[in-house]
C-alpha cells in the first residue's frame, strides 16, 4: 500500500493507494465516530465495512444523481439514521458519489467528516482528491458546491479490475494529463504506482492552492477544449476521452505559439496513444461552435485563456489570439 499525504495543515489527510485499500476503512475513520452513513450507487460493486453501526444509502444512477435533491435526500436520511456531527459519511463510488456525498457531508450539521472510497480510476486520480464537492444545476455543471476536504481517501486499485472498459479509458484521460505535470515518465510505472504518483502530483498542487486562486488551474490541462466538446454534446466522447483530445490540442496550440517544440507535441501524442485514447475532434462538429464555447469557459477572465505547456512547464496563458485557436483546431480533424 502506498500512502500519499495531502498537506493542508489541520485539514491534512492520507490517500491510501493499492489493492485492497478499502479494507483499511475502519482504521481511517475519525476518532469518536459512532456510526457511518455509507453512500453509494447501485452499480458500484464494492462492499465496505466501516467496523461501526452503519446504514447504506443508495443515490440515483449516473451523473443525474449529481443534483441538489440528492443532497436533500441524503441529509434527510442522515437525520433519520441519527447521524451526528461527530459521526462520518463514507462515499463509495466514482466522482458522482464523492461529489454529491461530499457536498451533503459539507452542509449536514454545518459539516460532518467524510471518507472517500474511490472505485473508479477517474475518482482515484481526480474527483476524490482535493476537497471540491458539488452538484449540477439545469443551467450548468458543478454550479453549487463547497470546499470540504475528506478525512481520508482510499483508492483501492482492485476495484479497477471490474470497471467497464469505457469507464477505465475515461480515467486514463485524466491520468494522461499528469504525464505533463510531474516532469517524469509515468509510463514506466506499474498501475498502482502511477495512480499514487498522479495523486501525489494533484496533492502537491492542492496543497499550494486549496481554494483555486491560481496554481490549481494547471489541473485543468486539456480541459478547455474538453469542456467545450462536452458542452457541445459530447459527440460520444466520455470526459477522459475529451481531455485526451484537449491535451493534443493544447500541445499543438503551444507549438503554434512557440512555447514547445515538435518533439514535445509528439510526446503528447505518444502518451494519448499509449492509453488508446482519441486524439482528433469528431468530424461532425462545427469548429466555430467550439471556439465560441471555449471563449465562454469560466476560467477565461482575459480573452481566451488556455493552460499550456512551455519553458516553465504547464501554466495558464491568457489572451490567446482567436486566429491561433482556429488554425490549431483545423489541425485537429
**What are the residue numbers of the active site?**
110, 132, 174, 202, 212, 216, 220, 223, 227, 239
Render the burial of 64-100: b for 16+ CB within 10 Å, e for the rest.
ebbbeebbebbbebbeebebeeebbbbbbbbbbbbbb
In the complex, the smallest distance separating the C-beta of residue 127 from ligand GLY, rounded to whole angstroms, is 5
Using the rule CB under 6 A, is 316 a contact of ligand GLY?
no
In the complex, the smallest distance separating the C-beta of residue 190 from ligand GLY, rounded to whole angstroms, is 24
In the complex, the smallest distance separating the C-beta of residue 94 from ligand GLY, rounded to whole angstroms, is 12
Question: Which of 224, 124, 140 lies closest to 178, judged by CA?
Answer: 124
Alpha helix (H) ranges present in 82-164?
Answer: 95-107, 121-122
Integer Cα distance of 144 and 2 in angstroms: 33
In the complex, the smallest distance separating the C-beta of residue 132 from ligand GLY, rounded to whole angstroms, is 3
Task: Tell me the Cα Rg of the chain.
Answer: 20
Among 50, 93, 94, 131, which residue sits at the site for ligand GLY (rule: CB under 6 A)?
A: 131
The phi, psi pair for 88, rounded to 5°, reads -145, 145
- Please answer whether residues 325 and 294 qualify as being in contact, where contact means their C-beta atoms are separated by less than 8 angstroms: yes
Q: Which residue is it, cell 479509458?
A: 169
Please say which residue, 117 or 290, places its beta carbon nearer to ligand GLY. Answer: 117
In the complex, the smallest distance separating the C-beta of residue 13 from ligand GLY, rounded to whole angstroms, is 12
Please say which residue, 94 or 130, places its beta carbon nearer to ligand GLY. Answer: 130
In the complex, the smallest distance separating the C-beta of residue 103 from ligand GLY, rounded to whole angstroms, is 10
DSSP state of 21: G
Strands 315-320 and 304-308, bridge-based pairing: antiparallel
Integer Cα distance of 292 and 300 in angstroms: 12
Please say which residue, 127 or 245, places its beta carbon nearer to ligand GLY. Answer: 127
Please say which residue, 50 or 95, places its beta carbon nearer to ligand GLY. Answer: 95
DSSP bridge partners of 92: 40, 117
Among 22, 132, 169, 227, which residue sits at the site for ligand GLY (rule: CB under 6 A)?
A: 132
Q: Which residue is it, cell 452503519?
A: 54
Among 16, 90, 105, 127, which residue sits at the site for ligand GLY (rule: CB under 6 A)?
A: 127
Strands 132-137 and 140-147, bridge-based pairing: antiparallel
Evaluate the CA torsion angle 229, 233, 234, 236 in order and state its sign.
negative
Stretch that binds ligand GLY, among 36-44, 50-58, 105-113, 125-133 (CB under 6 A): 125-133
Please work out the total of residues on this chain that contact ligand GLY, with binding judged by CB under 6 A.
Answer: 4
CA dihedral 310, 290, 136, 244 (to 10 degrees): -50
| Cell numbers placing 124 | 482515484
Binding to ligand GLY (CB under 6 A) within 262-301 occurs at: none
In the complex, the smallest distance separating the C-beta of residue 211 from ligand GLY, rounded to whole angstroms, is 10
Stretch that binds ligand GLY, among 14-22, 126-134, 187-195, 243-251 (CB under 6 A): 126-134
Stretch that binds ligand GLY, among 6-14, 39-47, 58-66, 127-135 (CB under 6 A): 127-135
Residue 8: strand, helix, or coil: coil
Stretch that binds ligand GLY, among 8-16, 62-70, 130-138, 321-329 (CB under 6 A): 130-138
Integer Cα distance of 156 and 118 in angstroms: 7
Binding to ligand GLY (CB under 6 A) within 21-80 occurs at: none
Stretch that binds ligand GLY, among 53-61, 123-131, 298-306, 315-323 (CB under 6 A): 123-131
Residues that bind ligand GLY (CB under 6 A): 127, 130-132
Amino acid at each position: 500500500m502506498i500512502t500519499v499525504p495531502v498537506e493542508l495543515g489541520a485539514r491534512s489527510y492520507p490517500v491510501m493507494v493499492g489493492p485492497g485499500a478499502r479494507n483499511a476503512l475502519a482504521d481511517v475513520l475519525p476518532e469518536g465516530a459512532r456510526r457511518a452513513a455509507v453512500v453509494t450507487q447501485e452499480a458500484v460493486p464494492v462492499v465496505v465495512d466501516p467496523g461501526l453501526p452503519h446504514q447504506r444509502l443508495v443515490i440515483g444512477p449516473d451523473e443525474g444523481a449529481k443534483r441538489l435533491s440528492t443532497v436533500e435526500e441524503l441529509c434527510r436520511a442522515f437525520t433519520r439514521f441519527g447521524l451526528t456531527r461527530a459521526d462520518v459519511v463514507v462515499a463509495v463510488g466514482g466522482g458522482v458519489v464523492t461529489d454529491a456525498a461530499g457536498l451533503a457531508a459539507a452542509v449536514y450539521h454545518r459539516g460532518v467528516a467524510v471518507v472517500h472510497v474511490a472505485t473508479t480510476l477517474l475518482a482515484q486520480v481526480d474527483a476524490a482528491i482535493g476537497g471540491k464537492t458539488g452538484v449540477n444545476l439545469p443551467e450548468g455543471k458543478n454550479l453549487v458546491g463547497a470546499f470540504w476536504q475528506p478525512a481520508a481517501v482510499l483508492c483501492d486499485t482492485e476495484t479497477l479490475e471490474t470497471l467497464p472498459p469505457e469507464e477505465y479509458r475515461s480515467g486514463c484521460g485524466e491520468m494522461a494529463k499528469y504525464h505533463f505535470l510531474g516532469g517524469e515518465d509515468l509510463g514506466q510505472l506499474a498501475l498502482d504506482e502511477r495512480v499514487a504518483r498522479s495523486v501525489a502530483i494533484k496533492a502537491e498542487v492542492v496543497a499550494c492552492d486549496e481554494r483555486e486562486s491560481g496554481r490549481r488551474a494547471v489541473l485543468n490541462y486539456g480541459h478547455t477544449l474538453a469542456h467545450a466538446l462536452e458542452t457541445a454534446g459530447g459527440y460520444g466522447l466520455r470526459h477522459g476521452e475529451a481531455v485526451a483530445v484537449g491535451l493534443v490540442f493544447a500541445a499543438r496550440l503551444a507549438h503554434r505559439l512557440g512555447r514547445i517544440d515538435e518533439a514535445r507535441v509528439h510526446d503528447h501524442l505518444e502518451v494519448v496513444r499509449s492509453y488508446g485514447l482519441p486524439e482528433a475532434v469528431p468530424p461532425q462538429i462545427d469548429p466555430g461552435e467550439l471556439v465560441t464555447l471555449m471563449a465562454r469557459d469560466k476560467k477565461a477572465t482575459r480573452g481566451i485563456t488556455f493552460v499550456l505547456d512551455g519553458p516553465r512547464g504547464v501554466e495558464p496563458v491568457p489572451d490567446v489570439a482567436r486566429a491561433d485557436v482556429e488554425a490549431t483546431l483545423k489541425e485537429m480533424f
